Amino acid sequence: MITIYDDKLNWLSMIEDYESLIFTRRFYKYGEFELEININKNNTDKLEKFNIIVLNNNFKKAGIILHKEIGLDQDGEASETLFIKGLTLDGLTTFRRIVPETNSGYVSLQGNQEAIMKGFVNNCFVNPTDVERKINLINTPNQNRGKTDKWRGSFEKLSDKLEEIGTYS
């Protein structure tokens, strides 16, 4: 069962029947998903760009829709197959850059690897200097994983920095 939410996490609908759904998860990088469904099935109209899908109420298998396409048949005519593609929710980090404070050229963080990664996420999503960039997220408690280190970033994609720290540790 697929549950569909809008970009503000308001419940929209559910889809119980689809042709295929593939979630590809990665350890150090965001994943993606591909959904194939007959366009005439219930609630396919809710599968819109930037809406969020969740498989079987498991938020580890959730993604944001970034692409919607109607398939073509053998004659090049529109078919009844709808293709939906997107990123897992951690893919939201591809849309954020590490922005230093006004009088600083870098965001510098020190601590264990987990604390540093959570610090970058906190600065970009939870408590950014520009409140217009804030997303209501909760950073889970730090379990002090990884070795102690120091990292800095400036106008890099958050996803790239998190992948770099993750693969380094």
Looking at residue 158, its pLDDT comes to: 97
Residue 114: name the closest of 157, 144, 151 by CA.
144
Looking at residue 22, its pLDDT comes to: 96
Q: pTM of the prediction?
A: 0.82
Looking at residue 72, its pLDDT comes to: 85
Q: What angle do CA 96, 33, 30 make, to 5 degrees?
A: 35
Looking at residue 6, its pLDDT comes to: 94
pLDDT at 30 exceeding the cut of 90:
yes
> Bigger pLDDT: 99 or 136?
99
54-103: pLDDT as tens digits: 999 998 899 999 999 999 888 888 889 999 999 999 999 999 999 998 88
Distance CA 59, CA 43 (A): 20
Mean pLDDT of the chain: 93
